[in-house]
Structure 1
Amino acid sequence: MYAEERQQYIVDRARRDGRVDVADLAGELAVTGETIRRDLSVLERHGLLRRVHGGAIPVERLGFEPALAARDAVLTAEKDRIAKAALAELPEEGSILLDAGSTTARLAEILPVDRHLTVLTNALPTALALATRTNVTVLFIGGRVRRRTLACVDPWAIEALGQSYVDVAFIATNGLSVQRGLTTPDQAEASVKRAMIAAARRTVLLADHTKLSSDHLSRFGQLSDIDTFITDTGLDEHTAAEIESRGPRVVRV
């Protein structure tokens, strides 16, 4: 097992169980305790885990929100597959909305060059990446820029969204569960996401399987608000069926 695969296993295990133990992981993965401790140090530097005596706990458990760079560095293959599958949800022409997030940013990178689209986004990196594209008209949703996510929030963003209506909104989330719906740690971002859903004819959720059963402070939507949920095959079929029973079509790639 490569170091990246081992570290992803550790993150998944920590999110599932609430913590990980060095000795247990060393036995399961057939490596030394020192190797696991180095992995935990790497994951802590990336903002995904917090070291505690004998192991580590996921930052979500402490109420922390990983920075954009940290989130972009994990599950890269899964996020690429999700973004490619999302291309099928694009209109032939018209308008779309791209939420701030590591997977929605990947979709922005691969938007087809032979299709004319108007793209609304509150994500600074996405707006900059698309600004020079001749086939894309970018409408930037301004407001206060959150340093952690580089997303614009607060009244200016809410007002702009209230005056907009797009064909498809591509939404990101920090947490997703059948019981509590869609959640994110920040109340201001939750308000913007809520307004994005209201501003779209169809809403497509792009989220990898690690977002499942990870609940955060602020709820911004129910599963019934989502038309299509695109995720990876780490989501088991039973849970996918349970989510579909609440409304959205689930696509596992």
Structure 2
Amino acid sequence: MTSPAETDRHAALAAQQLADWLREHPRVFVLTGAGVSTDSGLPNYRGEDGRWQRKPPVTYQAFVGEPATRARYWARSFVGWPAFARARPNAAHTALARWQAHGGPARLVTQNVDGLHQRAGSTEVIDLHGRLDEAVCLDCGARRPREALQDRLAAQNPDWIGLQARTAPDGDADLEGLDFAGFVSPQCERCGGLLKPDVVFFGENVPRARVTAAFEALQQADAMLVVGSSLMVYSGYRFARAAREAGLPLALLNRGVTRADDIATLKLEADCGATLQAALPA
């Protein structure tokens, strides 16, 4: 078992390596993933071996086409939302925001849907997979804050109020073994259409405008840094692959394996928050 002193030495070494690397590459394209937000209490999808730690998430096709699946999603979201809404930026978020304020990357690309980069002070963030704090009607396009739906869900589903469950990624909760048949999913108050959180589900494409903006930012960079992502999802991995195809150095700061380990020029397996706090400008 690793001692605290050994852990500290490892973190200090990783921070020094990253600081040295950053001095050689002043224009860095930064992509972050779920590992950045775990210290904020938001679980990761995958373990350090890169494998799923729970059942795969709902697909877009199932959410839209299956009322039972939609009810299951909204029940889990209703129970998990309070913990998700209470999450606050951690050391990794604040370090990246501070770096940006001191001339760091002009744009930050994240696979996360929690909005914690913005709450920490980062600007010009590309939320590749959207934001969970907003819902959109799939029929008329009307939008509303996700927080506003919580009271409506409570009024329509009083038996689910106060249910305790383990927090799961992306603002839902593990509710295995429960009957979701009676859970009432929210509808658009304007047109009665289907409401969906404004995030990219599996089986759904990332909006082209976000992908284009991210690639434009990559084209302005002289290196790429991945923080807290296994890159197992292609929507993030494609940027790492494009960076290497363009001859750009690629650094990975992540605990465990990533899909880009074989093409990285620097791999640091260390705590994201501690390493960034020590490596980035104060």
Fold equivalence (TM over 0.5): no
TM (norm. structure 1) is: 0.35
Which is richer in strand?
Answer: 1
TM (norm. structure 2) is: 0.32
Which structure has the larger Rg over C-alpha atoms?
2
